[in-house]
Amino acid sequence: MRKFAERNEDFESLVESFDAYLEARGDLLPVLKSLIHRPLVRLVGDDDLMEKAQNYLSVYQKTQKTLDRKYMSLRDASAQGSRRLLSDFLLLDTIILDRESGRELILSPLHPLHLWKYVELAKAVRESDGKLSESDWKFLETTVDEQPHVLSNITVGGGRLLNEETYLIQSDELATLPIYTEADRAEPGDNVYLWDYLISKFNQAYPPSKNHFKISIVDPIRPSQVLKSIVDAAENESLSGATIEFIYVDQEEKPLLSGATSNEEEAIINLFGPEGESDAFNILTRECRDYDEVAEHLKANPKHAVIINDQSKFFVEEFERDMDTSINPLYVPKEFSYDAFEDIINISASSEGRFSRNTKILSTN
């Protein structure tokens, strides 16, 4: 690109933008490690780092806009070269792992769409009038780490650095960094982080459920996880009883203890087994032909909570981004709309978030 710009003055501004980006990025390299584990705390507590991080994101955005503005002219000069340059630009601050089993990608702590989330959140905390207590900080750190990453999928390749184009979706994380896997190899995930949260929050919202919590799980992914959470809740006296119902819609039942350690198996059997210490904890299983039958069953046998695991097939759908939509840094909200003619549900990004409400709550504590 630099050699090309030496012969074409119209593209000197693009080279200058990349140079400014590399300089701003270099200012953050000395603190790279601290941005892996506790980026929010680091950014809130360091004025100099916050200023450098904001400058870095601003310069990246200017570089992106310059590339966008010059792209048509660059494509006229070199259709292949322009496409490769854009592809390589999207690889900035990504780590590619090519293994025998396939390709994976990790965003570095300096990837703009990863760092942006923490910079914007740190900025909102700094602008808050109230001071955060230790419990507020704990809530904020836990909440931001629980939320989905802004970039849920990414397409890479087609450039000089990586020839083969690959579509990847987020499947795991390393510390605060998202890991992406090829779509056809991505695991369906599980509900490991859901159960403790659900039991705790529901008991707070409806205290009588502590006496006997009733939950139905449609097409469970790993039954042992929820059973382990119920065991933990019983041990710390958060629950006095519970009925866990596993409903299977047109699929085989899964082993209840699959994935559990030997100690977890023993604890589950002691609580739920035929010779268990209490008959207040029960496990039920049921097979249904379709969701209509599930709905009829639940209407006749209501529960405190019903969890339905998505059984739809994966597919890629491209759509134009709404330029008026601004994404909240605390989480990625969605808007759902039903297309009655096509009988499908459309999902799109929403501009609404919840950090503005949390800011007011925290400020009054």
Q: How far is CA 112 from the centre of its chain?
A: 16
Q: How far apart are CA 153 and CA 170, in angstroms?
A: 6
Q: What is the pLDDT of residue 28?
A: 93
Q: Rounded to the nearest 5°, which phi and psi values hold at 193?
A: -90, -5
Structure tokens, 310: 């998505």
The structural domains of the chain, with segments of one domain joined by +, span 2-186, 194-308
Q: Which residue, among 15, 228, 40, has the nearest Cα to 141 in the 3D structure? A: 40
Give the model's pLDDT for residue 285.
94
Q: Which residue has the higher pLDDT, 162 or 293?
A: 293
Question: Tens digit of pLDDT for each residue in 302-321?
Answer: 999 999 987 666 666 666 65
**Stretch 189-198: mean pLDDT:** 78
Exposed e or buried b per residue across 122-156, where buried means at least 16 C-beta atoms within 10 angstroms of its C-beta: bbbbeeeeeebeeebeeebeeebeebebbbeebeb
**pLDDT on residue 34:** 84
Is the full-model pTM beyond 0.75?
no
Please report the pLDDT score of residue 317 as a whole number: 64
Residue 61: partners with Cβ closer than 8 Å, 6 or more residues away:
112
pLDDT of residue 166: 78
Q: At residue 104, what is the residue type? A: E
Q: Residue 263 phi/psi, 5° resolution?
A: -65, -40
DSSP string for residues in 310-327: --PPP--------TT---
Nearest residue to 362 (alpha-carbon basis) of 63, 109, 130: 130
Cβ atoms < 10 Å from Cβ of 245: 20
pLDDT cut 90: percent of the chain above it: 29
Contact present, 167 and 182 (Cβ < 8 Å) = yes
CATH class of 194-308: alpha beta
Nearby residues of 43 by Cβ (< 8 Å), 6 or more positions away: 49, 50, 53, 118, 119, 122
Cα distance between residue 164 and residue 32, in whole Å: 29
Residue 222 has pLDDT above 60, yes or no: yes
pLDDT tens per residue across span 20-66: 999 999 999 998 888 888 888 888 888 999 999 999 999 999 998 88
Q: Using CB atoms within 10 A of its CB, is residue 265 exposed (0-12), middle (13-18) or buried (19+)?
A: middle
Start-to-end CA distance of the chain, whole Å, equals: 54
